[in-house]
Amino acid sequence: MSGSRRALTGLTVLLAVAACTSPTGPAGAPGPRSPGSRTIVVSALPSAETERQRLNRSFQLADFQPTGWSVPASTALTVTVDRPDGSPVPDLVVGVPGLGGSNAEARSYPLRGRTTTITDPAGGALHVRTSSNITVTLGESAKPLPLYRLGTTTPEQWRDVLASTGDSPIAQLASRHVVLTVTLPKAREHAAEAAGLMAAYDQIVGIEDTISGQPGPDDRDKVSPLLYYISEGKADTNPDANDYRVHWPADLMDDILTPAGARSAWGLWHELGHLHQQSSWEWDAVTEVTVNVYSLAVERALRTPPRLTEEKSYDRARAFLALPDARRDYNALAEDRAGHEAEYFTMLVMFEQLRLGFGEDFYPKLHQAARAATDTDTNTTRYLMVTASRVAGADLTGFFTRWGLRPDADTRAQIAALRLPQPRQDLTTLHAS
């Protein structure tokens, strides 16, 4: 479920930034029990909005990086920055989006001078946003926050850090793609599985990148260096996605804190899918449909039970396709009203039939085409029908008409102008075995 509209490789940490660590130990690896260096070297990342536009996505990814430090509420913190002359002003970002509730947001403070003092009323985890390589030194009021870094922090060091930390309410775990923020008790409970868990998150994001056509043949198709935050949220709420993050309810957190759990959590794949959706072929009726193109990709890669089969979605699709023309309205399937629940999985069959008919390259090429477009049609339904035909190399007017999308005269004319052959088979009969 989406919220309102809208890798760690970028972070080079010298002298062991992971909180509650010392600068000793293996290269870049934290040691136990003593605070890490307050001087942090941070590598440049592109801005969230620049990346959103490049990727043609609906949501922004996070362009700020964890430091392993926090600041108490209403406490002055001095931050010293060394940066190249004329370089863009970096930001100190306080708080974690989605932490403790869907409405939780981080606050940004520009670091304009060499030394800046900030006071945040709520306090929280400290992050840095920068588009140039800089060095940041945090003042004495910054407090250590446990930060696990995949590939750097050893299991023994992580256990030591968590055991010796008493005053931080949260811990963070970071990998190439993901920053996970959980309460300290949850981090301690699942400490032994940190490496496997973060590797599983990276695998899931990587699968969703692949079906998004990343990496691809052009620079615009490169994998984003920005981050996906996953935050422990408010209990008894629904998971949701928004700019920068996935908010996951506290009472369901255990479901996604083991490698096996993450690899079987359709809901997690779904929310990360929202952060992959492209705006040029998304409209209101399909927001909760196209997101599962990414969920299905993870399902296939991890060989979990097929959701469309279990939900009997192909049977419902056949019944819908058998209706008279006047009663087949694809977008109406998304309506949730008295006596009718939204049939998102029935709608998903249409998108899955395109993959079944045109192969595993269809969706990567569709994403790449959307990124390459310089003048995207504001009618996103028409854009999908025309671009899908071009990518498939087949005139899909009949297919979309059967599905009740009702292409208008302009859409039909644009597809006809492509002079494409008809599909070699009736795509509406396809289903996964």
pLDDT in tens, the chain (433 residues): 554 433 333 433 332 333 333 222 222 333 333 346 899 999 999 999 999 999 999 999 999 999 999 999 999 999 999 999 999 999 999 999 999 999 999 999 999 999 999 999 999 999 999 999 999 999 999 999 999 999 999 999 999 999 998 789 999 999 999 999 999 999 999 999 999 999 999 999 999 999 999 999 999 999 999 999 999 999 999 999 999 999 999 999 999 999 999 999 999 999 999 999 999 999 999 999 999 999 999 999 999 999 999 999 999 999 999 999 999 999 999 998 777 789 999 999 999 999 999 999 999 999 999 999 987 778 999 999 999 999 999 999 999 999 999 999 999 999 999 999 999 999 999 999 7
Q: Determine the Cα–Cα distance for residues 346 and 343; give it in Å rounded to an integer.
A: 5
Per-residue model confidence (pLDDT) at position 36:
66
Give the separation between CA 294 and CA 363, rounded to whole angstroms: 10
pLDDT of residue 376: 72
Q: Is 30 exposed, middle or buried (0-12, 13-18, 19+ CB in 10 A)?
A: buried
Q: Using CA atoms in the order 373, 377, 381, 382, what is the torsion angle rounded to 10 degrees?
A: -100
Give me the pLDDT at residue 1, please.
57
pLDDT for res 27: 27
SS3 of the chain: the string is: CECCCCCHHHCCCCCCCCECEECCCCCCCCEECCCCCCEEEECCCCCHHHHHHHHCECCCCECEEEEEEEECCCCEEEEEEECCCCCCCCEEEECCCCCCCCCCCCEEEECCCCEEEEECCCCEEEEEECCCCEEEEECCCCEECEEEECCCCCHHHHHHHHHHCCCCCEEEEECCCEEEEEEHHHHHHCHHHHHHHHHHHHHHHHHHHHHCCCCCCCHHHCCCCCEEEEEECCCCCCCEEECCEEEECHHHHHHHCCHHHHCCCHHHHHHHHHCCCEHHHCCHHHHHHHHHHHHHHHHHHHCCCCHHHHCCHHHHHHHHHCCCHHHCCHHHHHCCECCECCCHHHHHHHHHHHHHHHCCCHHHHHHHHHHHCCCCCCCHHHHHHHHHHHHHCCCCHHHHHHCCCCCCHHHHHHHHHCCCCCCCCCHHHCCCC
